[in-house]
Amino acid sequence: MLTITSYIGKKTMDSFECSKEISPADFMPLKHDSLTIEVANSQMKKCNDRWFIGAVVIKTTDTELTSFIDWDDIDFIWLGILEMLLAYQILTEASHFKECVGLSHE
């Protein structure tokens, strides 16, 4: 089973960049409720609408693929995930092609 949970940061970008320890307590799950909207609006005001810090935690049943340590501007996180998926697709297709033409196990 794959779970994907988006979080927004409770601190400013400067606070995250200066911190050596990243804790789940520094984030809150992104939900469609009044508290999340209030925190998101507060963060946007603090950073003058330039960035929105967050984390996307992706887990399988037994493996954590991304965690809070992978925090970034939330737009960059999703672009990175998309690039990762596209690269995986290309590698998988190339591997499948090699198997089809007998080039596997080089």
Domain ranges within the chain, ordered by starting residue? 3-74
Measured over the CA atoms of residue 15, residue 31, residue 60 and residue 56, the dihedral's sign is negative
**pLDDT at position 10 over 60:** yes
- Mean pLDDT, to the nearest integer, of 20-27? 78
pLDDT score at 51: 67
pLDDT score at 84: 80
pTM for this entry: 0.61
- Mean pLDDT, to the nearest integer, of 29-49? 74
- Mean pLDDT, to the nearest integer, of 83-100? 74
Angstrom CA distances, 66 to 4, 37, 72, 106, stand at 9, 24, 12, 31
pLDDT score at 42: 76
